[in-house]
Amino acid sequence: MLTCLQLISYKTLAQSDTTKKLKEVTVKATTVPKVQTLTPTQQITNKDFARYSAFNVADAVRNFSGVNIKDYGGIGGLKTISVRSLGANHTAVLFDGVQLNDAQNGQIDLSKFNLNNVQEIAVYNGQSENLLQPARSFASASVLSIKTIQPALTLQKPYQIQAGVKGGSFGLVNPYLQWQQSISKRWSFIANANYVYANGRYKYKVDGDGSDTLAIRRNGDVRSLQADAALYWAKSDSNKFNIHVNYYNSKRGLPGAVIFYNPYASQRLENNDIFAQATYEHTWQSSIRLLINTKLSQLKTRYLDPEFLNQQGGLDQHYNQKEVYQSVALAYHLTPDWEVSYAADASYLKMDADIYNYAYPSRFTLLNVLATNFTKGRWQLQGNLLQTNLNEMVKKGVASKSRSVLSPTLMVTLKPFDNSNLQIRAFYKNIFRAPTLDELYFYAIVPRTIKPEFVKQYDMGITWTKNFNNLLEYITLTTDAYYNTVSNKILAVPNKNPAIFSFSNIGKVDIKGVDVGLKTQTKQQNGWRGLLSANYTYQQATDVSDPTSSTYQNQIPYTPKNTLALNAGVNYKQLGIYYNHILSSSRYYTGNNVPDYYVPGYSISDASAVCNFITGKLPVTASVEVNNLFNKNYSIIRSFPMPGRSYRLSIQITI
């Protein structure tokens, strides 16, 4: 028996393991668009940029409901965002979770951001529902979040290179390159570079002179170089770090307002910006989450006006903004249904300029946020309390007084039925905007007492999502009604020349509106699929400051009451054809809603086609876009005509 057991044991140990390689199983499914439950949000990914004929961030979000893009015309023209009529200064622009800060004038020019390195763009009314985020993300009335592409590599292919070029009307040439590389199991990096050149000369119709004269837009050229690199380390999904460096340099003309028989403009603008930001995120088994963000930035701006009438024979002004920023956030689950968080941000910012009687201001900002999220059954409640501390110093003049302000936010979502995707949401947010350094100190011969703007936001909405197994694959529908009040609205009025403004607080603005969004697509049948999205906005934004004023209960400047954006497309295998249409009603360029200040509405269409194919075993994407398909003559800002019909071609190869 012992001998037999020994033989059996020896035979068992001598057996070798057998391995059978299984074939891959590919599962394909369509992701239903995410519908933010607590606060309204709208998203677009890089797969849809060509569908919306988007060249920069401003183009990508112009279809969103409640969003108004102020576009001064041309590829190099200033482009800013206003959400629900609150103005550009009330929208925080986040770049990979860290806010871009322009304390000089408070408005971020969205034309500066090319889409070649962007993965996703989202607009949040109020704020994101994520508790683990910097305090700055809680400190604005709305948020525009830009997320860049991160390396997505495998052991079989530890690198990826994308090279492409875009070209088209008005002399546009835009080559770009992206390189992703895995360094080791935990380290990887991504580097991007793109160059944009355009002469900006386009034809436009001169209105009001009794003729059909076509003029050519002048001084709209742009040359820009943007380089971006990021290094990523990840021990696991719960322990990761990245550092990001971004450089932007541009020289462009500033086409002025079109004046009858005098289209000449000579102003120039040069930007030389660089920032570096680092992020560390860690989650412990005890469910404590930590987020640390650090940022250093320097923004250099040069403004030239050779025709300005002064003793020096023109303006040549240099501005230099430097900022140091640090943020720490902690989140912890007290129970599976209850999470709390705390975030603290500190920033020190300094402005220098070589202009007459400049104050040389610096600003220290400290933000503290306590937030909580509680989920019970059909209910989800979230709230936070933000404390803002501002302290300013100047070398000349009188500094604005220090401030400490508390700003509460409360959000709630109810799912009324168990077996339904219908949800009801509401939120209240109280926030304030500190005056920019220009509003406080630029050409301030005497001390200014500009008060911060206080905003109260009220929103109630319904969201509904449904998956289907028939012709349609899904439908998402969102509807929100909102009411905003703005106290101490800051008004900027030009003085004797357009370079010098006077600033004052005018009182109160009431904003009432409705946002409606629809998105759907059909199931793929024999390679065919249809797509449709629609967004509608109604806004009534009126000045209610002074009942005796001529602007009382009039619509505030550049705010159309009705806006509709439609996008439809058809995919056949690797080919996609899309149509985009934006309709905007009329508006006024001053607070006096009289015919003399009337700006007509516009209706413009874009069309695009995208084709993906393989050549030499390498994936290639080619696209063609026609913007302003029917060559409409229109303007978004009075006296700044927009381009007529234009074309854009692009090709991209992936190695």
Average pLDDT over residues 432-443: 84
Angle at 117 between CA 652 and CA 347, to 5 degrees: 170
Is the pLDDT at 23 greater than 70? The verdict is no
Beta bridge partners of 538: 514, 562
CATH superfamily entry for domain 41-654: TonB-dependent receptor, beta-barrel domain (2.40.170.20)
How confident is residue 450, by pLDDT bands cut at 50, 70 and 90? confident
- 426 within 8 A of 460, measured Cβ to Cβ: yes
Q: What SS3 state is found at 445?
A: coil
pLDDT attached to residue 340:
97
Question: Domain boundaries in the chain?
Answer: 41-654
Please tell me what DSSP assigns to residue 25: -
591 HSE (CA, 13 A, CB side): 18
Q: Which of 85-99, 103-117, 440-454, 612-626 bottoms out in mean pLDDT, i.e. has the lowest?
A: 440-454
How confident is residue 155, by pLDDT bands cut at 50, 70 and 90? confident
Q: What percent of the chain lies above the pLDDT cut of 70?
A: 90
- 653 within 8 A of 162, measured Cβ to Cβ: yes
How confident is residue 577, by pLDDT bands cut at 50, 70 and 90? very high
pLDDT attached to residue 7:
46
Q: What is the CA radius of gyration of the chain?
A: 27
| pTM score | 0.90
| Token duo for residue 378 | 């059909």
Those residues whose C-beta lies under 8 Å from the C-beta of residue 77, and which sit 6 or more positions away, are 71, 111, 220, 255, 640
pLDDT attached to residue 205:
79
| Token duo for residue 650 | 């692009």
Out of 115-119, 344-348, 491-495, 552-556, give the one with best mean pLDDT.
344-348
Cα–Cα distance for residue pair 257/263, rounded to 1 Å: 8
Q: What is the rounded average pLDDT for all residues in the chain?
A: 89
Q: What is the pLDDT of residues 205-218, one digit of tens each?
A: 776 555 567 788 88
pLDDT attached to residue 36:
60
Residue with more model confidence, 500 or 467: 467
